Amino acid sequence: MMNLAAGERTYTLRRAVAADIRPIVALPAADQLGATREGADGDDWTAYEHAFAAIDADPAHLLLAVTAPPGGEVVGTMQLSFLPGSPRRDPGPARLSAPEPRRASVAVNRARSSSRA
């Protein structure tokens, strides 16, 4: 867990847990473009749960929930993906996805799409 000060607010970055799935999926609803694209079909959260489980189980990916006081509401996500290293045993670069507060996680959306295939 890590705190990050931005202006007068302090955000907490922590590893996402299964209980964060619904708040993460709800994030695009606050975005004009995402409002019509995301959301579970009825009460079927299976695709999101499978996507989260796949990301969470993969040591090459770290999905973070960005929370804000009061109450620790999920206001954003970040995914850190570790890319394969070089032949010199370099751990390789990492890629950061969706670092903006109030944006949905690119990781959950992509994993959800691939879990349908």
Percent of the chain with pLDDT over 90: 26
pLDDT of the residue at 15: 96
pLDDT tens digits for range 79-96: 888 877 666 666 667 777
Asked if the model's pLDDT at residue 117 lies above 50, the reply is no
With a threshold of 0.75, does the pTM exceed it?
Answer: no
User: Residue 28 — pLDDT band, cuts 50, 70, 90?
Assistant: confident
Strand, coil or helix: 99: coil
User: Residue 112 — pLDDT band, cuts 50, 70, 90?
Assistant: very low
DSSP, residue by residue, 67-93? EETTTTEEEEEEEEEEPP--TT-----
Which residues make beta-bridge pairs with 41?
Answer: 44
Tracing tokens 């954003």 back to the chain, one arrives at 76
Kindly state the DSSP code that residue 100 receives in the 8-state scheme.
S
Q: Which of 103, 97, 107, 117 is nearest to 54 (CA)?
A: 107
